[in-house]
Chains A and B, each alone.
Chain A
């Protein structure tokens, strides 16, 4: 059974179309990265999946309709919407008690052991904690819940690099067990790319790229081309070319590795570079870029 399945998922706010027919299938045990520019519809899509907003089209999460069966769905789903959402008046001990009280799948001992690795005091109030500590606390609460689906929307926004790295390390090492499904929406692509099993690029309410990371590795290659081989390289129709110090890097889709090796150093592109290339190929997006340059 797919964890998340949608067909023609649509959502409009007045005349603004946030989701324009999303067809999606996320299998159990996958870690999906939802990547897109600001206003691409990532948060709207996650809100629909979490039953926080009504939508048009078909959507099934763990076999439930998230909007009409939200109460049942929330037994098995957990999410962090934003780092600042923990109630500021609450004490750490109160939050532990509360979640243990209302959540059937919360393992308090596990949460306590996560917290033991931090400097967070049980008697502190959330408003007294630093931003990084609040995230650690939230993560400790969420990771102690045995949920089938975890949704993270910009979970590390506003955190420094150390906390961001720690966050994804503990997510992968302490939480992910290959049975759970995780969906992460973020801008900070480079930090999560080694974590993901699947990548989806979203732009203006549509999915424009949907691959597993294995596919990305096998189908996309980047070559640092020597200037004297530029013509030969261009004949292979690269997706994108970018200038770097001492030459140019060309990105290819479905071109034989051996063939590319004759042009220069071959490597797997980063998700970020792939994202820029794919987004840049969007017709109206490219036009916007040209207009921007012309101005």
Chain B
């Protein structure tokens, strides 16, 4: 083969290999990684809370606080046995909500404040991809991380309890049978994806919109309209529907379970799970439409925004 044809085939290869555009999934992947690089608190905070909670549980386990109930009466109902596990799950959910709120409030504000927005805008990543990557932190990443950490934590708790029961010469059968760990984990995942991802989505999109709009005091601008509407409602009509509505969205009080007031946490039996009624509730869809409106506005807004 002559050198010329070699060179030609090489240049041809170079041409055919030369990438034209990065697929949007790749831009999305790197945008999410950027968020995790920038906001390490998103995973450090839940891990720290889990560590502290495990420490507290190990103290109670050594003192035998929760195991005492099993000792007194092995026919205890499941709720009592599962109590520390539910508290642990609840704590992680609460952490997830707090982290999500603060993350969203800073997401589109921080890059304008530190003037790096022009660097991000100098690269071929669309505003839509960027905003969507930011939304994926509270919408996908944090629920899944909360799930992983909670399951790991509950697993350690279960082993610790079992160990203490065995050391004291007691049976672990009641604990393992009644807790039904696998089912508990599945319910937790379902609860996180419905009540802590889909249900509060309009709240997170609203916070993103405010963080992209406000020049400063994002928390104030995000909370003020809510307080104002709730205040007007209460003075004019003497009701508190709006405050209750926002509150239920934020804490994840979604109609995804048939729940009696005592069963706030998702460890109840499988029969309580009602995806049908959740997916067909108008509240969910109204919320999702609203989330779409806020998200579109946030994407549009980023086009016009520069450093502040």
Q: Which positions in A face B, CB cutoff 8 Å?
A: 47, 50, 52-54, 70-71, 74-75, 78-82, 84-91, 94, 97-99, 101-105, 138, 142
Q: Is the CB of A81 within 8 A of B126?
A: no
Q: How far is the CA of A91 from the CA of B22 in the complex (A)?
A: 23
Given contacts A85-B116, A85-B307, A87-B38, contact A102 B22 (CB under 8 A): yes
Q: How far is the CA of A103 from the CA of B19 in the complex (A)?
A: 9
Q: Is the CB of B114 within 8 A of A102?
A: no
Chain B residue numbers with a CB within 8 Å of A53 are 304
Chain A residue numbers with a CB within 8 Å of B119 are 81, 85-87, 138
Nearest-CB residue, chain B, relative to A94: B37
Q: How far is the CA of A138 from the CA of B21 in the complex (A)?
A: 22
A273 to chain B, nearest CB (A): 33
A16 to chain B, nearest CB (A): 17
B156 to chain A, nearest CB (A): 32
Chain B residue numbers with a CB within 8 Å of A50 are 121-122
Q: Is the CB of B114 within 8 A of A87?
A: yes
Asked whether any CB of chain A lies closer than 8 Å to the CB of B33, the reply is yes
Nearest-CB residue, chain A, relative to B31: A102
Chain B residue numbers with a CB within 8 Å of A104 are 19-22, 124
Residue in A54, A81, A88 whose beta carbon sits within 8 Å of that of B118 in the complex: A81
Given contacts A81-B118, A85-B118, A87-B114, contact A102 B306 (CB under 8 A): no
Chain A residue numbers with a CB within 8 Å of B306 are 47, 52
Q: Is the CB of A101 within 8 A of B116?
A: no
Q: How far is the CA of A102 from the CA of B21 in the complex (A)?
A: 9
User: 8 Å CB contacts to A: which residues of B233-262?
Assistant: none
Chain A residue numbers with a CB within 8 Å of B125 are 102
Q: Is the CB of A102 within 8 A of B38?
A: no
Asked whether any CB of chain A lies closer than 8 Å to the CB of B29, the reply is yes
Chain B residue numbers with a CB within 8 Å of A98 are 30, 33-34
Q: Is the CB of B124 within 8 A of A71?
A: yes
Asked whether any CB of chain A lies closer than 8 Å to the CB of B26, the reply is yes
Q: Is the CB of B115 within 8 A of A103?
A: no
Asked whether any CB of chain A lies closer than 8 Å to the CB of B157, the reply is no
10 more CB-based (< 8 A) A-B contacts, given A75-B20, A81-B119: A47-B306, A50-B121, A70-B303, A74-B122, A78-B122, A84-B115, A88-B116, A94-B34, A102-B31, A138-B119
User: 8 Å CB contacts to A: which residues of B219-245?
Assistant: none
| 22 residue pairs bridging A and B, Cβ less than 8 Å apart | A47-B306, A50-B122, A54-B304, A70-B303, A71-B126, A74-B123, A82-B115, A82-B118, A85-B115, A87-B38, A89-B38, A90-B38, A91-B37, A94-B34, A97-B30, A98-B33, A101-B22, A102-B123, A102-B125, A104-B19, A104-B20, A142-B122
Main secondary structure of the interface of B (DSSP, over half): helix
Residue in B21, B116, B124, B126 whose beta carbon sits within 8 Å of that of A87 in the complex: B116
Q: Is the CB of A74 within 8 A of B118?
A: no
B117 to chain A, nearest CB (A): 8
Q: Is the CB of B122 within 8 A of A102?
A: no
Asked whether any CB of chain A lies closer than 8 Å to the CB of B27, the reply is yes
Q: Is the CB of A103 within 8 A of B123?
A: yes
User: 8 Å CB contacts to A: which residues of B97-125?
Assistant: 111, 114-125
Given contacts A101-B29, A101-B30, contact A89 B124 (CB under 8 A): no
B89 to chain A, nearest CB (A): 32
Chain A residue numbers with a CB within 8 Å of B34 are 94, 98
Residue in A54, A80, A86 whose beta carbon sits within 8 Å of that of B116 in the complex: A86
Nearest-CB residue, chain B, relative to A81: B118
Chain A residue numbers with a CB within 8 Å of B31 are 102
Nearest-CB residue, chain B, relative to A74: B124
Q: How far is the CA of A101 from the CA of B21 in the complex (A)?
A: 11
Given contacts A98-B30, A101-B30, A102-B30, contact A52 B21 (CB under 8 A): no
B15 to chain A, nearest CB (A): 13
Q: Is the CB of A102 within 8 A of B124?
A: yes
Q: How far is the CA of A165 from the CA of B38 in the complex (A)?
A: 33
Q: How far is the CA of A91 from the CA of B124 in the complex (A)?
A: 20
